């Protein structure tokens, strides 16, 4: 951020009065521009005991398998965001069964939320951001080609919970391993 989105003048980083963090503040109109984490919402879509994954048609992680998920938009709920992303990426309509995982990813200012879901009718396909979608049995998950740590962690938890058929909400955080250079890939 270099310029004020309100008046177009330059911004500078400083700690506003009564605050204790550096913010972008406009040198002209004094507007404080706060920056906050974003929510990624998605589902673990299940159909006849199998899990629906999408193979990404976009970077980062082009070609890798992911649970359908994406940025929550203004004016929607987390459930609506999860349903919408599942429809957009996997062309699948789902019934939401319950919140499943909330994973903080503080080094990239994101919170990932996955809901358990079942396909309404067994139909799915490849949305614009997917190369393909596929149902995987629990022993078929392509572990070597999973897109992101939050997807891997959610799948690991889900497969473990499947054994007891008991699905509590899991809260986790995944921090960037500082020794690895590939920030994008470690999302």
Binding site for its own copies (CB under 8 A): 1-11, 18, 21, 33-39, 71-80, 98-99, 102, 104, 106-107, 109, 111, 128, 168-169, 171, 173
CA 58/CA 143 separation, integer angstroms: 19
Taking the complex as a whole, how short is the minimal distance between the CB of residue 178 and its own copies, in angstroms? 14
Residue number with CB closer to its own copies (11 or 94): 11
* Partners of 53 in the β-ladder: 134
* Closer residue to its own copies in complex, CB, 3/143: 3
Nearest distance in Å: CB 76, its own copies: 6
Cα gap 50→133, rounded to integer Å: 12
> Comparing C-alpha atoms, which of 28, 45, 37, 54 is closest to residue 95?
45
In terms of CB distance, is 6 or 145 closer to its own copies? 6
Other C-beta atoms lying within 10 Å of the C-beta of residue 115:
23
DSSP, residue by residue, 78-130: HHHHHHHHHHHHH---EEEEEEEEEEEEGGGTEEEEEEEEEESSS-----TTE
**Min. distance of Cβ 63 from its own copies in angstroms?**
19
In whole angstroms, the minimum distance from the beta carbon of 122 to its own copies comes to 25
Nearer to its own copies, 144 or 171 (CB): 171
């Amino acid at each position: 951020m270099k310029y004020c989105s309100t008046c177009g003048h330059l911004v500078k980083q400083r700690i506003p009065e009564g605050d204790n963090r550096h913010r972008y503040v406009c040198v002209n109109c004094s507007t404080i521009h706060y920056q906050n984490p974003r929510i990624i919402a998605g589902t673990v879509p299940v159909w006849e005991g199998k899990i629906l994954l999408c193979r990404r048609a976009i970077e980062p992680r082009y070609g890798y398998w992911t649970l359908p998920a994406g940025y929550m938009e203004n004016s929607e709920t987390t459930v609506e965001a999860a349903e919408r992303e599942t429809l957009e990426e996997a062309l699948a309509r789902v019934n939401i069964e319950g919140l499943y995982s909330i994973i903080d990813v503080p080094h990239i200012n994101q919170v990932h939320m996955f809901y358990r879901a079942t396909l309404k009718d067994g139909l799915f396909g490849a949305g614009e951001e997917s190369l393909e979608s596929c149902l995987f049995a629990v022993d078929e998950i392509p572990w070597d080609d999973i897109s992101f740590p939050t997807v891997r962690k959610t799948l690991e938890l889900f497969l473990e919970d499947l054994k007891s058929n008991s699905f509590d909400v899991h809260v986790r955080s995944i921090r960037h391993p500082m020794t690895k250079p590939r920030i994008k890939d470690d999302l």
